[in-house]
Structure 1
Amino acid sequence: MTNVDIFTLIKSRFQSLTNTEKKVAKFVVENKKKVIYMSITDLADACQVGDTSVFRFCRSMDLKGYQEFKISIAHSLTLQDETPQLSSEITMQDTIDELASKILSSTVDALSETRNLINSKDLSKAIDTMINAEKIHFYGVGSSMLTAMEAKNKFMRITNKTECSIDTHLQIMTASLMSKNEVAVIISYSGSTKDTIEIAKVAKERGVPIISITRFAKSPLTNYSDITLISGANEGPLQGGSITAKISQLYLLDVLYVEYFKRTTKESIVNSELTAKSVIEKLL
């Protein structure tokens, strides 16, 4: 499927689509480069249709789902441009100096956008929820799992109530045993990863407060979230695991960490000293 121009395919099958699917098709053809950075819910809202209509449109193109659809768009754009792009700005013709400058610029832009997207009330509410919780569970899948592990590593230095399971089976099992007195911090760039959504669904059924860190304000994940914190980096479908996206997530987690420390100063200072002393002999 990756060798087929998705836009040619859309045009060839346009007349066989339903009216709602035609709305999606028209928007996609007219906004090719914009769509690859949109969530399924964003696209559905833009077309004034439901998420299921977008999914059915993808299936009408013989694709498994929305993510494969975005990958097909990225491949088709590359074929049309005849110049492979590693991101929306970086090309194969860039020198090392140009590459370094562009990556620095995109990273700074992502951090600045994330800062501008911070809602102080939501962030404050997230901190209070984490402080009052008996346990804080960090969840993520794929590259977001690495961010969740970093969050666990960060917070365990000042509190002993953090948890992070690596295996997705263990994640869903821990979610099924959570109580209302605990909190789930779910990290997902797209907010559309099946395993992540299932974890959120199970946690929600248990009455657990859910804090999500994601790129999109509207996504299947945020439908289950009590508090949504938005990161500002754009990541194309061929850029899975983008460091810029991860840096934006880590920036939000660092803000959460410092504010958590401030509000629990006495306990956090004691714990940070204890954890620092525990590993001092491991250092030269």
Structure 2
Amino acid sequence: MAKTAKVSATGGARGSTASEARAAAGHDTGGLIVHISGLLPSLSPAEQRVARLVVADPADAARRTITDLATAAETSEATVIRFCRSVGMEGYPQLRIRLAAEAARRVEPPDARVVGGDIPPGADLAQIIATIAFNDARAVEETAEQLDAEVCERVVDAINNADRVEIYGAGASGFVASDFQQKLHRIGRTAFYFPDVHAALTSSALLGRGDVAIGISHTGTTSDVIEVLEQGRARGATTVAITNFPRSPITEVADFVLTTAARETTYRSGAMASRLAQLTIVDCLFVGVAARNRARARKALEVTAEAVQAHRLGGHRRKA
């Protein structure tokens, strides 16, 4: 069954990522550091060492010569050039210019002890709070900055016109999937979330044209979610991936890709800042669908709120 080409966060065809399209166009929406962070798992080990130096301190990297950066990353100048091309730059001079611009616009944390999102040994609770708050807020802001409204619009269209919507996620992403399902259900959309992979597989086997399958995975490598999304796509359903990494395996089985921009702090890999970033996308999609059916959604929300009113302290059921 023929399928349309995958659309990433900039609406590009399969084979190109959102950030690559922006780099090619010379745009800086979302920021170069967000772009590099998203591509990091797809880079070679040597290129990853360069990437980590650049992400940790863009201003310092912009001041370095190519020889200095290669030495600091314990690699060669040729690897630095390959890294530049991997992230969409023509060469090292262009990378330095973009890094300098990124450093100039970068928002610094209010607490000087918050550096790079890491929580060092011996950190007091005030420092922990400041670090988590800053990085959570940054994840939401950077996700919103790089989120393409046109692609979100197309996903909202697909959900709005769908006969059935199924949402998949595991672990922390499963909580986000469950939240999205409940939100859609509250406004009268037929949506399902299956925490059990066998139930998800049997359900996705019954999907078809006019249905939508949404897979949520921070790393984009969760095999259960990829398998279910792949099966839904094979049956003709429109597939959507929400992930932090635009070159991850889940994007290969998705018609639409929406990317988050989360960098986890110590102790929280793939679990907290990523969850808030995912919820940002989910909320945008939910409100988009609700706005298309404003009167119906408002009525559904009123009816469902009334249904549980008696179960709140001080609440009472209205008389018919």
> What is the TM-score of this pair, normalised by structure 2?
0.62
1:94 aligns with 2:123: yes
**Aligned equivalent of 1:225:** 254
| CA gap 1:127/1:90 in 2 versus in 1, 3 angstroms | same
| CA gap 1:168/1:131 in 2 versus in 1, 3 angstroms | same
| CA gap 1:27/1:187 in 2 versus in 1, 3 angstroms | same
Counterpart of 1:196, as a letter, is V
Q: What displacement does 1:263 show?
A: 0.7
Counterpart of 1:110, as a letter, is A
Q: Deviations over 1:160-196 (max 9, x none)?
A: 4011111011111111111111101111101111111
CA distance in 2, matches of 1:121, 1:280: 38
CA distance in 2, matches of 1:146, 1:253: 12
**Aligned equivalent of 1:115:** 144
Correspondence for 2:47 among 27, 30, 43:
27
CA distance in 1, matches of 2:229, 2:266: 23
Moved more, 88-97 or 230-239: 230-239
Contact 1:190 1:219 in 2 (8 A): yes
| CA gap 1:25/1:156 in 2 versus in 1, 3 angstroms | closer
Counterpart of 2:291, as a letter, is K
Q: Deviations over 1:105-124 (max 9, x none)?
A: 10111111101111010000
Correspondence for 1:136 among 157, 165, 186:
165
* Partner SS, residue 229 of structure 1: strand
CA distance in 1, matches of 2:266, 2:233: 28
Correspondence for 2:308 among 257, 265, 279:
279
Q: What displacement does 1:94 show?
A: 1.3
Q: Which runs of 4+ in 1 moved over 2 A?
A: 23-35, 45-49, 235-242
Moved more, 233-242 or 141-150: 233-242
| CA gap 1:269/1:31 in 2 versus in 1, 3 angstroms | closer
Moved more, 214-223 or 127-136: 214-223
Q: Report % sequence identity.
A: 25
Counterpart of 1:118, as a letter, is L
CA distance in 1, matches of 2:130, 2:265: 19
**Aligned equivalent of 1:189:** 218
Question: Mapping of 1:35-184 within 5 angstroms?
Answer: 88-184=117-213
Question: Mapping of 1:203-218 within 5 angstroms?
Answer: 203-218=232-247
| CA gap 1:239/1:132 in 2 versus in 1, 3 angstroms | same
Contact 1:27 1:47 in 2 (8 A): no
| CA gap 1:29/1:252 in 2 versus in 1, 3 angstroms | closer
| CA gap 1:31/1:238 in 2 versus in 1, 3 angstroms | farther
Contact 1:127 1:256 in 2 (8 A): yes
* Partner SS, residue 166 of structure 1: coil
1:235 aligns with 2:264: yes
**Aligned equivalent of 1:245:** 274
> What is the TM-score of this pair, normalised by structure 1?
0.70
* Partner SS, residue 250 of structure 2: coil
Counterpart of 1:248, as a letter, is A
**Aligned equivalent of 1:259:** 288
Contact 2:159 2:165 in 1 (8 A): yes
Counterpart of 1:205, as a letter, is A
CA distance in 2, matches of 1:187, 1:219: 12
Q: Deviations over 1:97-143 (max 9, x none)?
A: 11111111101111111011110100000100000001111110111
* Partner SS, residue 252 of structure 2: coil
Unaligned ranges ≥5, structure 1: 1-22, 36-44, 50-86
